[in-house]
Amino acid sequence: MMKEDRFFPTRHAEELAAILPGARLEWIEDSYTFSPEDQPDRLAELLAGFVRESAAVTT
């Protein structure tokens, strides 16, 4: 389980993922509010995978 972020509670992420069509929620270890700065490579991997999977579904 992810530790609680000081600015954005995990429940907010879960609620957004539940209401956004096609959303996927991924927890990035050792990262909190600023994922792009905390774990840029892991974020890039997850985004690339999401884009590839989304493109495959729409083609």
The pLDDT assigned to 57 comes to: 82
How does pLDDT run across 24-47, given as a tens digit for each residue?
999 998 888 889 999 999 999 999
Phi-psi sector, 39: left (phi>0), alpha (psi -120 to 50), beta: beta
What is the structure's pLDDT at 2? 57
Return all residues near 46 (Cβ < 8 A) that are at least 6 apart.
26, 28
Report the pLDDT averaged over residues 12-20.
95
Write down the domain spans for the chain. 10-58
Across the range 47-57, mean pLDDT stands at 91
Average pLDDT over the chain, rounded to an integer = 89
- According to the model, what pLDDT value does residue 48 have? 97
Do residues 28 and 42 touch, judged by C-beta distance below 8 A? Answer: yes
